[in-house]
Amino acid sequence: MRQYFPVINTEVNIPEDVFDALFMLKVRRSMTGRKNISHKEVIDFLSSKIDGFSPESFDPSFLLKASNF
């Protein structure tokens, strides 16, 4: 997944530690049997971690590439 960080970060300036935490959120979800994280969960998570995060600037399709690690 680390290889996709630059692709995602081209559109959204996600600090690396937040990206790592987002990845762990995905892993925890998959361990509970849920394959995907919802768009709302990602937005809520990023909003809680990044000051001034604009949900309108985030396109969830950037996570599709990252989910194929």
Structural domains counted in the chain: 1
Q: What is the pLDDT of residue 26?
A: 76
Q: What is the pLDDT of residue 69?
A: 44
Contact 63, 7 (CB under 8 A): no
Going residue by residue through the chain, which has 69 residues, state the pLDDT in tens, using 9 for 90 and above.
455 555 555 556 667 777 777 777 777 777 888 766 777 877 888 788 777 777 776 666 655 554 544
Give residue 15's domain range: 2-66
Listing DSSP states for 6-50 in one string gives HHHHHHS---HHHHHHHHHHHHHHHHTT-----HHHHHHHHHHHS
